[in-house]
């Protein structure tokens, strides 16, 4: 009686509250984003900001308030960064909320749909076809078939009856049941399976690592260089203290690429928002870059290159005059099965509305134990299912026909007929094999085009599946996977074999969850950048290990929670859009970021030289602020958002340095030349500073012009506005920017030096590769030496 009452009413509110109080509640599996507070702190509390604030306070302390204007740029950068990250967070949170799974429970006699995170121990859940099982439960009423492929990788449904347990992460494919929740949260089967994935995954963004390397170099150099510049200004250049402080600060703020981190964050935040509009959820901003660098992509068969649905591909009569269409139309009309195989039958023979007037004496639904279903009519019985289970020993007569079709990747089912009725739930006597029905997976319409795209981009495809390797190979071949005939049964591979197998084979069948992880690890050990798609609990460990993991929205909560990207439309065809977005971001950052590093390089060179020359540093902070705003910051942010789908080649730091190094050296040479011209022609120090500012600005605008290629009308207008903005500020507010009128000889000298600077850029670009190779070799040797010393110190 108590059980019957529970089946009607479920838990009471009091019982639910008690369980929540005792912590017997499902944990929230939805990925969480940073809080607003974390975003604000992350954008404010940075090494760059701390350094800039200290430098700003120094110039304020000596009374040069206008030279603290660069703090306004820092403040503006912080505001933009916070705004973009919060905007991206809201988009992600909104999409996560929409995609969050729900569960149907019975409480106090009422059916309620609640988030899966609110399920408590003992809840009565109602599950029907298409519903995901969100917590381990036991069947109390009804029968159903469950697809456990997300857990085991096996696609065949499993029959469940009263008393059977159903595992979280699986789906009901047919039938209706009421079930009691027996485990929640970390005790769930799916949670235990994915426990190995609960570790903090290190960010593998090449861009971030490159930026961090640049920052470390600057951090090491900046303090001793600041001391050297200040002492040189006081004791050798005989400058007053306030002027020495201002010139030292000018040198240091020039070395700091304060906008480069912000540029990377803003570009990635914009990419996140753009992808959200295309139904792709980026749970980690920098994973967009990683996917664009992927050179090996591991794909599951089901749900990726196939729709997860079946279709009737062909038939073969075994009785010459058997009315197959008539029999299967009647069968489809009276059966109520809901599984991929029967749905394929229904799609082929279930459109005849007249057939629905046919009445059956009785029907026996499909079960995974029997492997067949049947319908009894007045004229006789129709049986449909696995031929070896229906015919038993007589199966040998048609085995060659079945195996021939199976080798082509088809599932072979038998339509059989008998004049006799069913004997209870058992097969009738005198069964005749009437026809073979060949059923195959439906390949996604867009899969061949998407796979061809990745092949064209040089991305190696690996198909990893829990299904029969021959079947998977044939389907992969139909979809257009290159070398799909190179397949292997993973059940025959030992752990030691996998490293060689990933070099030789394209298709892996009967793969276990632990083998998926080993395959990804083996590929990474060979220097591959690995992307992986998956939708099941059995994919979680491999998804976590992959450099970039992509989950389908239709998959398990666990797979979505550990993945970098979630395709909300569960459509593999969305992948090229993500790759294109990543390429736009990385290529444009490499190009625009060169503007920031150009300033860092020439500031570094000038600071190094002016530590020893008995001459004043040529800039004031306010002048560098004007140059940075008009010739670096504004164009870099705008150019970083233009379309760019070129394949990413080489390392980020090398590519960015290849552009920045010639430009930085050229600007440094021009700056030194202007100082020497001023020194030998007795140009006053203020005019020398103006001369140097104009020369550096002109060369910087030339660099912007080169980065804008190929030129478009809007780019030409933008460049004109930037030059006009600089010129207007210089002409309208000369005293504010510490600029003085120049004599004719200074203007001529400026024109000559600018021409020389442009020539130097052109010449150095041709020699950039060997120079970079030399310095990179020195850097690698130094890094090895430092690591060796560190290891020795730690061991001692």
Which residues are tagged catalytic? 300
Q: How many residues does the chain have?
A: 796
Per-residue three-class SS string for 95-108:
HHHHHCCEEEEEEC
Residue recorded with tokens 């041709």: 766
User: Quick one: 164 exposed, middle or buried, by C-beta within 10 A (0-12, 13-18, 19+)?
Assistant: middle
User: Quick one: 283 exposed, middle or buried, by C-beta within 10 A (0-12, 13-18, 19+)?
Assistant: buried
Directed axis angle between helix 258-277 and helix 575-610, to 10°?
Answer: 170
Directed axis angle between helix 713-732 and helix 685-707, to 10°?
Answer: 170
Per-residue three-class SS string for 711-755:
CCHHHHHHHHHHHHHHHHHHHHCCCCCCCCCCCHHHHHHHHHHHH
CA distance 155 to 308: 9
CA distance 620 to 630: 16
Q: How far is CA 483 from CA 184, 506, 534, in A?
A: 44, 6, 21
Directed axis angle between helix 70-99 and helix 36-44, to 10°?
Answer: 150
240-263: burial string, b at 16+ Cβ within 10 Å, e else: eeebbbbbbbbbbbbbbbbbbbbb
CA distance 604 to 222: 9
CA distance 616 to 639: 35
In terms of C-beta distances under 8 Å and separation of at least 24 residues, what long-range contacts does 328-332 make, across chains too?
328/382, 328/384, 328/415, 328/437, 329/355, 330/355, 330/358, 330/360, 330/375, 330/377, 330/382, 331/375, 331/382, 331/384, 331/415
The backbone region for 279, taken as left when phi is positive above 0, alpha when psi lies in -120 to 50, beta otherwise, is left
User: Quick one: 359 exposed, middle or buried, by C-beta within 10 A (0-12, 13-18, 19+)?
Assistant: exposed
Beta bridge partners of 603: none
346 CB-near residues (< 8 Å, 6+ apart): 332
What is the DSSP code string of 242-253?
A: HHHHHHHHHHHH
Q: Tell me phi and psi for residue 316, to 5 degrees.
A: -145, 115
CA distance 535 to 190: 13
230 CB-near residues (< 8 Å, 6+ apart): 244, 245, 248
H or E segment and range at residue 126:
strand 124-128
H or E segment and range at residue 233:
helix 206-235
3-state DSSP percent of the chain in helix, strand and coil, to 5: 55, 15, 25
DSSP state of 266: H
Per-residue three-class SS string for 673-699:
HHHHHHHHCCCCHHHHHHHHHHHHHHH
First to last CA, the chain: 73
Residue recorded with tokens 């009725």: 421
323-340: burial string, b at 16+ Cβ within 10 Å, e else: ebeebbbbbbbbbebbbb
DSSP state of 630: I
Structure tokens at 274: 């753009």
Residue recorded with tokens 């109390």: 140
């Amino acid at each position: 009686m108590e059980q019957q009452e529970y089946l009607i009413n479920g838990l009471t509110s009091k019982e639910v509250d008690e369980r929540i109080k005792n912590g017997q509640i499902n944990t929230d599996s939805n990925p969480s984003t940073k809080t607003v507070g974390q975003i604000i702190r992350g954008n404010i509390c940075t090494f760059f900001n701390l350094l800039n604030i200290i430098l700003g306070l120094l110039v304020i302390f000596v009374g040069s308030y206008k030279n603290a204007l660069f703090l306004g740029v820092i403040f503006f950068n912080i505001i933009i960064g916070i705004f973009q990250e919060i905007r991206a967070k809201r988009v992600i949170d909104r999409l996560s909320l929409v995609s969050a799974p729900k569960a149907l429970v019975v409480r106090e006699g009422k059916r309620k749909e609640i988030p899966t995170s609110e399920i408590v121990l003992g809840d009565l859940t109602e599950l029907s076809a298409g519903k995901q099982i969100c917590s381990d439960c036991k069947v109390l009423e009804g029968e159903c078939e469950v697809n456990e492929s997300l857990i085991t990788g096996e696609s065949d449904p499993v029959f469940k009856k009263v008393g059977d347990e159903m595992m979280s992460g699986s789906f009901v494919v047919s039938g209706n049941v009421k079930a009691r929740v027996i485990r929640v949260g970390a005790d769930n089967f799916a949670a235990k399976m994915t426990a190995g994935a609960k570790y903090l995954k290190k960010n593998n963004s090449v861009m971030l690592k490159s930026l961090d390397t640049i920052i470390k170099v600057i951090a090491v150099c900046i303090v001793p260089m600041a001391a050297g510049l200040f002492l040189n200004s006081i004791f050798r250049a005989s400058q007053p203290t306030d002027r020495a402080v201002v010139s030292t600060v000018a040198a240091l703020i020039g070395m700091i690429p304060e906008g480069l981190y912000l540029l990377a964050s803003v570009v990635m935040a914009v990419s996140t928002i753009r992808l959200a509009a295309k139904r792709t959820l980026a749970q980690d901003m920098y994973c967009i870059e990683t996917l664009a660098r992927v050179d090996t992509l591991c794909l599951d068969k089901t749900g990726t290159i196939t729709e997860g649905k079946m279709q009737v591909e062909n038939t073969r009569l075994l009785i010459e005059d058997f009315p197959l269409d008539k029999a299967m139309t009647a069968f489809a009309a009276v059966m109520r099965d809901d599984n991929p195989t029967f749905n394929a039958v229904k799609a082929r023979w279930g459109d005849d509305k007249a057939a629905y007037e046919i009445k059956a004496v009785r029907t026996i639904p499909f079960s995974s134990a029997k492997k067949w279903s049947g319908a009894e009519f007045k004229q006789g019985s129709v049986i449909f299912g696995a031929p070896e289970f229906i015919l038993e020993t007589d199966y040998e007569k048609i085995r060659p026909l079945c195996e021939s079709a199976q080798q082509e990747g088809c599932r072979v089912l038998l339509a059989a007929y008998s004049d006799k009725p069913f004997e209870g739930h058992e097969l009738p006597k005198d069964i005749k094999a009437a026809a073979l029905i060949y059923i195959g997976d439906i390949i996604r319409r867009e899969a061949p085009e998407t796979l061809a795209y990745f092949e064209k981009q040089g991305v190696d495809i690996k198909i990893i599946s829990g299904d029969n390797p021959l079947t998977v190979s044939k389907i992969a071949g139909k979809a257009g996977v290159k070398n799909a005939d190179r397949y292997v049964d993973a059940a025959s591979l030992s752990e030691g074999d996998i490293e060689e197998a990933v070099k030789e084979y394209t298709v892996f069948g009967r793969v276990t969850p632990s083998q998926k992880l080993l395959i990804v690890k083996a590929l990474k050990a060979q220097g591959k950048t690995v992307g992986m798609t998956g939708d099941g609990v059995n994919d979680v460990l491999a998804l976590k290990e992959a450099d970039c993991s992509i989950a389908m929205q239709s998959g398990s909560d666990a797979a979505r929670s550990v993945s970098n990207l979630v395709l909300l439309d569960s459509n593999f065809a969305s992948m090229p859009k993500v790759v294109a977005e990543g390429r736009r971001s990385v290529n444009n950052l490499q190009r625009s970021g060169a503007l920031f590093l150009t300033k860092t390089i020439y500031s570094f060179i000038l600071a190094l030289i002016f530590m020893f020359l008995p001459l004043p540093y040529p800039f004031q902070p306010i002048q560098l602020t004007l140059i940075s705003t008009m010739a670096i910051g504004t164009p870099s942010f705008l150019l970083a958002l233009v379309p760019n789908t070129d394949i990413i080649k080489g390392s980020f730091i090398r590519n960015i340095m290849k552009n920045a190094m010639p430009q930085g050296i050229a600007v440094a040479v021009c700056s030194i030349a202007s100082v020497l011209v001023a020194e030998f022609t007795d140009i006053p120090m203020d005019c020398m500073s103006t001369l140097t500012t104009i020369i550096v600005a002109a060369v910087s605008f030339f660099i912007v012009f080169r980065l804008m290629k190929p030129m478009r009308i809007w780019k030409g207008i933008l460049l004109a506005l930037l030059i006009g903005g600089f010129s207007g500020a210089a002409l309208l507010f000369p005293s504010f920017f510490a600029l003085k009128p120049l004599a004719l000889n200074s203007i001529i000298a400026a024109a000559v030096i600018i021409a020389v600077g442009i020539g130097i850029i052109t010449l150095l670009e041709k020699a950039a590769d060997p120079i970079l190779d030399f310095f990179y070799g020195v850097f690698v040797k130094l890094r090895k030496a430092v690591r060796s010393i560190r290891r020795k110190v730690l061991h001692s």
